[in-house]
Amino acid sequence: MSLHVDAGQPTRAPVPPGRRHVRRNSPRSFRTWLDLKAAPYLLVSPYYLLFLLFGLFPLGFTLYYSFYKYDLTGTVEWTGLGNYTAMLADSAFWKAVVNTLGMFVIATVPQMLLALLLANALNKRFRGQLLVRMGVLLPLVTSVVAVAVVFTQLYGRDWGVINWILSWFGVDPIDWKAQRIPSWLAIATMVDWRWTGYNAIIFLAGMQTIPKDLYEAASIDGASRRRQFWQITVPMLRPTMIFVVLNSTIGGLTLFAEPTTFYNGNVHGGTDSQFQTVSMFIFEEGFREFDYGYASAAAWLLFLLILIGSLINFLLIRRIGGNK
Amino acid sequence: MIGNSRRGRMLAIAAASALALSVISACSTDDGGSSSTPSDGGSSAAAEKVTITLQTFGGGKNFGFKEAVDKWNAEHTDIQIKYDNLTDQFEQTYWPQMIQWLQSGAGAGDVVGIEEGGMGLAKAHPEWWADLGEFGLNNHQANFPAWKWENGVTVDGKLFALGTDVGGMSLCYRKDLFEKAGLPSDREEVGKLWPTWDDFVKVGHQFQAKVKDTKFVDGTNTLYNVVLVQEAAKNGNVAYFDKDNKLIVDSNPAVKTAYDFAEKISKEGLTAKLRNFTDEWKTGMKKSQFATLGCPAWMLGVVSGDDAAGPEFAGKWDVAAVPGGGGNWGGSWLAVPKQSKHPKEAAQVLEYLTGKEGQVSVFNYSGNLPSNVQAQQDPAVQGAKNEYFNDAPVGDIFVKSAGALQPVFLGVKHAQVKNAVESVVSAIDDGSVPYAEGWKRLVDDAVKAAG
């Protein structure tokens, strides 16, 4: 582009040996400046430019339009906080919030425990260690939609494998898409199937940084393996846990692909929005009803929800094994 | 020092090119997907091959253009049609996506299908569409029923769309299952079993008493729509909106009657609790989960499609008269978006597909009932039998009544309200909304969707 920095370079090709002082205002000093000061910024700039374009700009744009009644096919008019007050009184929005939180709890709590136990098991020495550790990550590589399609089949009301197995125990067929809690369970298993291994690997990495001598000292003092796990491994993992839990909180509260695919790609989330998450609500308002302003306001409320959720989880996790 | 300064230059160049790259990639998304030839169809560029993208929606055989398009492509070297059926969901998927494309000015095909529920909005946005009058399509007025023609004219009086099919109403039933239940299976006699919907419910109970593992109807939603259009015809031809685009869901008796009927068949255990057009519903046909289906003409193409009942059920379905008399559910139009780079060629394709030859081919292939009067009068159409449906004389059943079909007025926000209402109609069936709360929820959700 316009960065012509090599002007006059050939004339200075033989560099005098033992040069002590650099003259100011020469092209050389510009190049030194470019090298030392500007280049690092230029190198990181693509990320920041993209972030500006695809991160910060939409954020501001959304905030701006959350104060408008903005119909894609019609008018744009200022409503101030109108979208927000309407939203707080909108039962459909609160239903989506409850669905999202419900699915988050059902999915995340077992997932964390399972990932922790899995990581602990993987942390021991055994044959084919690398293969098994890699195998745990396999679900992450499969496409979310493929996972959701397969699970949707498994959870079919009339022809699903899960209802068939349940029927051996005399359980009546469950309509997984019509009943609220069963639908949450179905979606939670999809999420867990995909993310448990990922979290286990991160836990495993954290475990491998715990000094061995702690365990040795504990063994000499007669602590059992179980006690070592709860009193050394878990407290020492706290920083890793904070990361994993915050990550899961953000992922869980923005859940979209699994519940959408579960209902034929319809963002209504079941006939009665049994499993419509807040992200799906935003999508429905924005791209089905074309009420961009309302959807923008919902997006900002989701942002707040994630902030609050992350904060609560952060405070909870910080207390683990730390109150001595 | 030399090494160092050279490294600095390399870094600067790398950074600059990275920047340039990111700018280029950001820009290129804008015109991505456009064809490489910028020709505007002028005579000098006549030799260049033009590809016209045809976008439609619908399950099974959808618009039924397959054979007509194959024939066109074999006969024309300069204009090729790329037939792209995007999805089987109109209100939930196709139309919202299409509105975004039309509004943003990129993404829509050269010829696009629009269902009746979208026409109110489409007419209100003349800026989305090419003026078909400019390409001489105005002279087809005599070939279409007045209402079908007028609905393809924008609010400022320009022709933007020509009609493809119209609804026409029948009831499809499984001949083999009726025999199993000891009921008459001949289509004339089956039609006589149910002059009214009350009779239909009675037959349903007789069927259900004999056959346990198949339900009488698919779910609430299909017959809800059938009864809605029949009743709308008795109540001034309006459904969810009156002709001033005011929401009348709670005051139009047609909606309440249709809802009450849906509630009744669900309460009395005649439904397989399958929502129409979902994957489960289509699987339901393959697994014989229901024995009858409300069938506008285009539904025949849906049922016989490979992803629904498919070839293994050929000859097992048949078509009988519908209780409560005729009705007009569905039917579509084709339009050319203004953003098309080849509007002239697109209009030619549109003229062919909605014309006599195209529509006769559609009727023979899929059973969709042409709105084009010339096609309707074609002897091949009048005498047509549908092989898949046990050689049912579909020409007799649909075509002869086609002239009497009345349009139901559909408001600008019809698609959104329909979507909200049908969710509730399905929710009372799967038990997630109690029957006692259903009607109130339906009205509330309709008001919200219209707002």
Most A-contacting residue of B423, B442, B444 (CB-CB within 10 A), to test interface: B423
The mean of the pLDDT values for chain A is: 88
Q: Which of A43, A159, A271 sits opposite B423 (nearest CB)?
A: A271
- Least confident stretch, A5-19, A84-98, A153-167, B248-262: A5-19
Q: Are residue B320 and residue B338 in the same domain, yes or no?
A: no
- Spell out which residues of chain B touch residue A11, defining contact as CB-CB under 8 Å: none
Handedness of CA B136, B141, B143, B146 (dihedral sign): positive
Contact flag A270-B18 (C-beta cutoff 8 Å): no
Q: Do residues B275 and B424 share a domain?
A: yes
Residues of B in contact with A15 (CB under 8 A): 1-2
In A, minimum Cα distance to B431 occurs at A178
Into how many domains does chain B fold?
2
**Exposed e or buried b per residue across A129-160, where buried means at least 16 C-beta atoms within 10 angstroms of its C-beta:** eeeebeebeebeeeebeebbeebbebbbbeeb
B18 touches chain A (CB under 8 A): yes
Average per-residue pLDDT for chain B: 88
Question: Is B222 a domain residue?
Answer: yes
Q: Does residue B125 sit in the same domain as residue B253?
A: no
CB nearest to A178's CB, from B19, B20, B430: B430
pLDDT in tens, B161-181: 999 999 889 999 999 999 999
Question: Which residue in chain A has the smallest CA separation from B104?
Answer: A72
- Span B83-132, pLDDT tens digits: 999 998 898 899 999 999 999 999 999 999 999 999 999 999 999 999 99
Same domain as B104, residue B116: yes
Q: Is the pLDDT of residue B139 over 50?
A: yes
> Domain A84-318 classified CATH 1.10.3720.10?
yes
Residue B35 has pLDDT above 50, yes or no: no
Q: Determine the pLDDT at residue A151.
A: 94
In a domain? residue B1: no
Least confident stretch, A116-130, A274-288, B144-158: A116-130
pLDDT at B32 over 50: no
Q: What is the dihedral of CA A244, A246, A251, A252, to 10 degrees?
A: 100
pLDDT score of A288: 87
Lowest mean pLDDT across B188-197, B215-224, B322-331: B322-331
Give the gap in angstroms from C-alpha A105 to the nearest C-alpha of chain B: 22
Q: Percent of chain B scored above 90 by pLDDT?
A: 75
**Residue in A289, A291, A292 to test binding to B, most B beta-carbons within 10 Å:** A289
pLDDT of residue A71: 84
User: Which pLDDT score, from 0 to 100, does residue B130 have?
Assistant: 96
Count of helices and strands (H, E) across chain A: 16, 2
B98 shares its domain with B150: yes
Residues B337 and B324 occupy one common structural domain: no
The answer to whether residue B25 sits within a structural domain is no
> Is B398 a domain residue?
no
Q: Is the pLDDT reported for residue B29 higher than 60? A: no
Positive or negative: CA dihedral A243, A246, A252, A257: negative
Query: What is the average pLDDT across B431-435?
Result: 94
Concatenating the DSSP letter of every residue in B307-351 gives: TTT-GGGTTTEEEEPPTT------EEEEE-BTT-S-HHHHHHHHH
Q: What does the domain layout of chain A look like in residue ranges?
A: 10-57, 84-318
Residue B444: its pLDDT value, please? Answer: 94
List the single residue in A46, A266, A272 with the smallest CB-CB distance to B19: A46
**What residues make up the domain containing B259?**
169-328+409-450
- CB atoms B431 and A157 under 8 Å: no
Say if B93 is an interface residue toward chain A (CB within 8 Å).
Answer: yes
pLDDT above 80 (res A265): yes
Residue B272: Cβ within 10 Å count: 20
Q: If you average pLDDT over residues A98-127, what whole number do you get?
A: 93
* Average pLDDT for B356-384: 92
Asked if residue B275 and residue B229 are part of one domain, the reply reads yes
Summarize pLDDT for A34-47 with one digit per residue, the tens.
Answer: 888 888 888 889 99
Task: Identify which has the larger pLDDT, A275 or B325.
Answer: A275
Q: Does B19 touch chain A (CB under 8 A)?
A: yes
Choose, out of B6, B7, B11, the residue to mutate when testing the contact with A (most A CBs < 10 Å): B11
Q: A180, A272, A282: best mutation site toward chain B, by most B Cβ within 10 Å? A: A272
Per-residue confidence band for B28, with pLDDT thresholds at 50, 70 and 90 = very low
Confidence of residue B30 (pLDDT cuts 50, 70, 90): very low
CA angle, B207 then B213 then B218, to 5° = 70
Contact A268 B100 (CB under 8 A): no
Whether B190 and B260 share a structural domain? yes
The per-residue pLDDT for B15 is 46
**B315 in the same domain as B233:** yes
Q: How far apart are CA B358 and CA B67, in angstroms?
A: 9
Q: What local confidence, expressed as pLDDT, does residue A25 receive?
A: 61
> Which pLDDT belongs to residue B25?
41
CB pairs under 8 A between A and B: 123
- Among A9-23, A80-94, B160-174, the least confident range: A9-23
- Do B225 and B142 belong to one domain? no
B111-115/B50-57 β-pairing: parallel
3-state secondary structure of B144: coil
- B22 and A50 within 8 Å at the Cβ level: the answer is yes
Question: Same domain for B138 and B55?
Answer: yes
The model's confidence at residue B37, banded by pLDDT at 50, 70 and 90, is very low
| B275 three-class SS | coil
CB contact under 8 A, B99 and A72: yes
Of A5, A46, A272, the CB nearest to B432: A272
Cβ-defined contact of B275 to A271 (cutoff 8 Å): yes
Work out the average pLDDT over A207-217. 93
Least-confidence region, from A126-140, B243-257, B392-406? B392-406
- Give the other-Cβ count within 10 Å of B83's Cβ: 21
Residue A9: its pLDDT value, please?
A: 47
pLDDT above 80 (res B47): no
Q: Which residues of chain A lie closer than 8 angstroms to B89, CB-CB?
A: 264-266
Phi, psi at B54, each rounded to 5°? -110, 115
- A50 vs B431: CB contact, 8 Å cut-off? no
Mean pLDDT to the nearest integer, A229-249: 91
In a domain, B401, yes or no: no
Q: Is residue B43 part of a domain?
A: no
Rounded to an integer, the average pLDDT of B150-154 is 94
At A72, the pLDDT band (50, 70, 90 cuts) reads confident
What is the band of A128 on the pLDDT scale with cuts at 50, 70, 90?
confident
Residues B225 and B358 in one domain: no
Q: Any idea what the CATH number is for the domain that residue B433 is in?
A: 3.40.190.10
Assess B141–A contact: CB distance below 8 Å, yes or no.
no
Beta partners for residue A205, in sequence order: none
- Give the C-alpha separation, B192 to B221, whole Å: 24
Chain B hits for A96, CB-CB cut-off 8 Å, are none
**Which token pair is B210?**
């004999």
Pairwise CA distance, residues A225 & A221, whole Å? 12
Task: Give pLDDT, residue B4.
Answer: 45
- The pLDDT value recorded for residue B375 is 93
Q: Does the structure show a pLDDT above 80 at A321?
A: no
CB contact under 8 A, B19 and A158: no
Amino acid identity of residue A301, one-letter, is L
| Burial degree of B15 (CB within 10 A; 0-12, 13-18, 19+) | buried
Q: What is the pLDDT of residue B20?
A: 44
Please give the distance of CA A282 from its chain centroid, rounded to a whole number.
18
What confidence category does residue A322 fall into, taking pLDDT thresholds of 50, 70 and 90? low
- How much is the pLDDT for A24? 55
